[in-house]
Amino acid sequence: MKKILLLSALLSTFALGLSHISHSENYSYSLEEPKVLKANEANDVYLVYFKAPETWTGEINVWAWKDGPGTNPFPELGWPGRAMNEDENNDGWYYIYLPNFVDKIIFNLTDAEGNVVHQTDGDGIDPDNKLVFEARNQWIDGIHEETKTAEDGTTSTIYLPNVPSYTQLTTGELPVYEEEAVIYARVPNDWNKAVATFKDSENVEDTYTLELSYNTTEKWYIDRAPAKYDTISINNGEVGGLKESVEVTVTSSPYYIQVTDDTNTEGKYNATVVYEKPVDASEVFTVHAKVPSDWTDVGLWAWKYEGGAAAVAGSWPGVQMTLDEDGEWYTYDQVSTIGDRVIINQNLFADGLQTVDIAVEPRECWIVLTELDADGKYEAEVYYEEPTLTPDNPDTPDTPDNPDVDNPSEETPSNGLNGGQIAGIVIGVIAAIALIGVIIYFVIKKQKSKK
C-alpha cells in the first residue's frame, strides 16, 4: 500500500507538471542567414538571347526575378527593367547576361517615352505549372499567343516566349560577360537628358556612350555600365546646344554624380562624385517599429500602393532597421515620400514572420506590432506621435494621442488571474500533493515498525 501511495504522489506530481508545460505558449523559429546574391563573376551568370517580333520596334527590356522571394538583379532600375543589348551581327536578336538565381523573365517593348507597348506574361497558362527559366545559356526565338482563363472564367490573350533552345541559334562568337557598375546622375533642371561618356584610363581609345534612364521614384538618372570604365562625364545630349560636365574619376560601385549649375573657365559644368546616396530631407520620412522582443533582424519594405513603385532601396525584404539606443524602437529614416504602404519583417528572403500591409501617411510614424492574424501575419497600429510605453508592459503602448486603428489598451481589462498567478497556484498544488504522499508513506512505515 505504501508503495502505491508513494508512486501515486510521484505520478501526480509528474502529470501535473507535464500538463502545465504542455499548455505553456512556446513560439520558436529559426532565422535564415540572408544570402548575398552576386552577379559579378562570369560563372554566376547565364546568357539569354531573345528574338523580338518584327512588329516590336523600340527598346527591348527584361524584367527578371527569382520566383518566391522576388529577388530582382536590377533593383535600382524598376519596371520595365533592364534594356537588352542588340546583336549587330544577328538581325532581330537581343541578349543579356542574368545572375544564375533568376528563374522568371518578362520581355517587354517600350516606346521613345518609356511606356510599355507590349510584354510577355510572367506565369504562363497554368499557375501550378509556372513558366520557369533554367540557368543555362539559351536562345528564345520569338513569342506566341495563348488564351488565359481567369478564376472568374473570363479569358484574355497573352504572349508567351517560345520554348528556349539550349543550342546556339545565332552566328558568330558569343558576347563576353563584363562586370558592371551602377551609375546615378543628377543634372541641372534645364537639361532634358543625361548622357554619360565613359573612358578607360588604361586604354584611352576605349570609350562608351550611354543615355541614362530617368527614374521618377528615385529622382535620379540611373543605369548600368561596364565597370572597367573609371572616367566619366555627363552631357545634355543636344547637338546644337551641347552642355557638358567636367570628367570625374570613380573607384567603386554604385556611384552618384551630381552636375551643378556653375561652370569652370572652360565652360564645362562642375561635377562631384560620392559613393553613398545623398539625401534630400524633404523627400524622405522616418518609420519607427516596435516588434516582438525576440526579433533581432528587423527589415522594412515600403512602396506606393498605386503602381507598386518601391519607396526604399533594393528589393524584398527591404532595408535593415536599426535599434535605437533605448532598445525600444527599430528605426529607418530614408523612406521615400512616395510610399504609402509598409511591411515590417524579420528581414528574411522568404518564409519569415512579417506584418500585414500597413497603410501610412508619408510622415514620421511609429508602428506597433500586435497580434497574428489568420494568415500568420502581424496586425499593427500606427501613430503619428510617439506613444508612451506602459512601464508594466513595455511592449504595449499607453493610450495614444491619435492611433490609426483601434487601440487594444482601451478595452475593459480582465478581472481574471494573470499568467504568473496561475503558475503559482499550479506549483503550489503540485507541491502539496507531493508532500501529502510523502507524509502518508512515513506514517504507514512508522505504524508498521511498532507492530
Q: What is the pLDDT of residues 1-57, one digit of tens each?
A: 444 444 444 444 434 343 333 332 332 222 222 233 333 344 599 999 999 999 999
Instruction: Give the pLDDT score at 157.
Output: 87
Distance CA 85, CA 176 (A): 12
Angle at 249 between CA 258 and CA 233, to 5 degrees: 55
Contacts of 373 (CB under 8 A, 6+ apart): 356, 379
Q: How does pLDDT run across 379-414, given as a tens digit for each residue?
A: 999 999 999 865 444 455 544 444 554 333 333 333
Mean pLDDT of 260-279: 91
3-state SS of the chain? CHHHHHHHHHHHHHHHHHHHHHCCCCCCCCCCCCCCCCCCCHHHEEEEEEECCCCCCCEEEEEEECCCCCCCCCCCCCCCCEECEECCCCCCEEEEEEECCCCEEEEEEECCCCCEEEECCCCCCCCCCCCCCCCCCEEECCEEEEEEECCCCCEEEEEEECCCECCCCCCCCCCCCCCEEEEEEECCCCCCCCEEEEEECCEEEEEEEEECEEECCCCEEEEEEECCCCEEEEECCCCCCCCEECCEECCCCCEEEEEEEEECCCCCEEEEEECCCCCCHHHEEEEEEECCCCCCCCEEEEECCCCCCECCCCCCCCEECEECCCCCCEEEEEEECCCCEEEEECCCCCCCCEECCEECCCCCEEEEEEEECCCCCEEEEEECCCCCECCCCCCCECCCCCCCCCCHHHCCCCCCCCHHHHHHHHHHHHHHHHHHHHHHHHHHHHHHHHC
Lowest-confidence pick of 58-72, 280-294, 371-385, 434-448 = 434-448
CA distances in angstroms from 119 to 48, 107, 137, listed in the order given: 16, 6, 22
Number of neighbouring beta carbons within 10 Å of residue 105 = 22
Instruction: Give the pLDDT score at 122.
Output: 85
Q: Which residues face 155 on adjacent strands?
A: 149
Mean pLDDT of 86-103: 95
Whether the predicted pLDDT of 264 surpasses 70: yes
Confidence of residue 132 (pLDDT cuts 50, 70, 90): confident
Q: Mean pLDDT for the chain?
A: 79
What is the chain's Cα-based Rg?
A: 31
Instruction: Give the pLDDT score at 144.
Output: 92
Cell reading at 176: 563576353
Instruction: Give the pLDDT score at 412.
Output: 33
Contacts of 100 (CB under 8 A, 6+ apart): 44, 45, 46, 135
Mean pLDDT of 327-336: 91
Lowest-confidence pick of 56-65, 125-134, 276-285 = 125-134
**Percent of the chain having pLDDT more than 70?**
73
Lowest-confidence pick of 208-217, 309-318, 319-328, 354-363 = 309-318
Instruction: Give the pLDDT score at 125.
Output: 62
Contacts of 37 (CB under 8 A, 6+ apart): 71, 73, 99, 101
Of 291, 354, 300, 299, the C-alpha closest to 327 is: 291
Task: Give the position of cell 562624385.
Answer: 273
Instruction: Give the pLDDT score at 156.
Output: 85
Whether the predicted pLDDT of 335 surpasses 80: yes
Whether the predicted pLDDT of 231 surpasses 90: yes
Whether the predicted pLDDT of 84 surpasses 90: yes
